A and B are shown apart, each in its own frame.
Chain A
Amino acid sequence: MLSPGAVPLLAVEGLQAWYGESHVLHGVTFDVIAGEVVTLLGRNGAGKTTTLKSIMGIVGQRTGSVRYEGKELIGLTSDRIARLGIALCPEERGIFASLDVEENLLLPPKVRAGGLELDRIFKLFPNLQERLSSQGTKLSGGEQQMLAIGRILRTGARLLLLDEPTEGLAPVIIEQIGKTIGTLKQQGFTILLVEQNFRFASTVADRYYVMENGRIIDRFANAELEANLDKLHDYLGV
């Protein structure tokens, strides 16, 4: 599936992870090429979110290998990982109630050159500019999601981990987020997306990995989606 000679930006191999006693990931292997949008599909509890958290270094214990630009991330703390150029937009969005919108937006420090300027972010999400002095959690769900994505675009991170960015949002906002992901891809961002909604994923993704019980059980490219629909319905139970 990889074009020959392509070096993956992110290479995950035999990744295992635990929350306390419970063993959640049982050897996850996949990779993401620079400039791609790759989607992890799977039912609730398949281990998608844990995979993102393991890459970011915020689960209790992990083994195996996660390499970013060839550098091993297992053993690094999450602040070091972030400084290499990886940024997470968490499922619960993680907007800070004690910060206003502007402070939320400016919170993540710049880790590298080449992040988006503020006016570019406001062009993507005009709502944010109008509400800069509102308390972060006073925004609507959709605006909070835009804020959660917007704040990691400034930092210069090149790999974005987006955890269910469309969850619980109105169709018109989902469409706006889809367009945004397309724009980001054009600008050279690499995106690892976790989604339950594969209809949405199919509008943005280059490739898919399907997860079940903490393992990757299938993979295909976007062009193969139609041919795999039956299997996919089966996997996702929809």
Chain B
Amino acid sequence: MFELFGISSQALFGQLLIGLINGSFYALLSLGLAVIFGMLNIINFSHGAQYMLGAFTAYFLLQYAGLGYWWAIFLAPIVVGITGIIIERLFLQWLYKLDHLYGLLLTFGLALIFEGTFRNFFGSSGLPYSVPPALQGGRNLGFMFLPNYRGWVVVFSLAVCLTTWFVIERTKLGSYLRAATENPTLVRAFGINVPRMITLTYGFGVALAALAGVMAAPIYNVSPQMGANLIIVVFAVVVIGGMGSIMGAIVTGFGLGLIEGLTKVFFPEASNTVIFIIMAIVLLIRPAGLFGRSA
């Protein structure tokens, strides 16, 4: 143990770890938003509700099918992703040529419906979801105590984010996605079924939100508002990072989680607002965001 500016290493690294955990969720969620916005031109305001649906799906799988965490982390993104695909086919596909505002309003309305419905049936107190047995306990790293589950969340989210980045920026499939983001008409005229690609992209973005929800369940409990509380911060993260960049979303997500954690150590009064202060500054200096390409 040592001290830094009068703060014990345990407290400092503890907060940094919490920052990294929050950052993992910011990164996963803002990544999904960035992917969806790139392809669909839609600001997916139901992203927080879809994160909540992921957590609830994990809860239902355990309660009603006896399937635990490892099943949930695999199945919940697929189930919620499929609901995303249905939403895209039923509603979103009619909005692409309209102003962003319409997509934002529609997805905001859907979020209210999802959250209201779940609050009606499950109340707002939150349902417990326990850490899977394999990840219970923790280890002493010398300078701090690391709960195994939290270490897993950070490592696994980072792996998912980097894999997504790799697929989009370095593979053939990714080149279709990037090209279709730029000029969907021409990509379609080359013989690629762009509408299907758009549908699957939305399903994938939603699945990322659901995956984050499953990972959050053992940390924050499962509650109908869990997404509403988080999504406002995530939108600030997206504004700071800029909509256009995949790596930007990842770096900004983890970075802002850490900054938030540090603020909790050194100036706790500002820890809930620091991200919004940074957002305001970024909007003044670089309106397109740190990694965004201005149009």
Contact = CB atoms under 8 A, between A and B. Distances in A.
Interface stretch (B58-66, B174-182, B223-231, B276-284): B174-182
B192 interface: yes
A132 interface: no
B246 to A, nearest CB: 11
A78 B189 contact: yes
A103 B175 contact: yes
- Which residue, B172, B188, B193, has most C-beta atoms of chain A within 10 A? B188
Interface in B146-201: 172, 175-176, 178-179, 181-183, 185-194
Interface residues of A, number: 25
Interface string A43-85: 0000000000000111000000000000000000111011100
Interface residues on B, range: 10 to 19
A108 B191 contact: yes
Given A79-B193, A106-B172, A96 B188 contact: no
A96 B178 contact: yes
B179 A96 contact: yes
A99 B175 CA distance: 7
A78 B194 CA distance: 10
Given A99-B178, A103-B175, A94 B183 contact: yes
A90 interface: yes
Nearest to A97: B182
Interface string A83-119: 1000110100010111100010011110100000000
A145 interface: no
Contact of A58 (B172, B176, B181, B185): B185
A57 B189 contact: yes
B179 A107 contact: yes
A155 interface: yes
Given A58-B185, A96-B183, A155 B191 contact: yes
B174 to A, nearest CB: 9
Contacts of A111: 191
A78 B185 contact: yes
A88 B187 CA distance: 11
A77 B188 contact: yes
B190 A87 contact: yes
B245 to A, nearest CB: 10
B178 A108 contact: no
A107 B176 contact: yes
B190 to A, nearest CB: 4
Interface of A: 56-58, 77-79, 81-83, 87-88, 90, 94, 96-99, 103, 106-109, 111, 152, 155
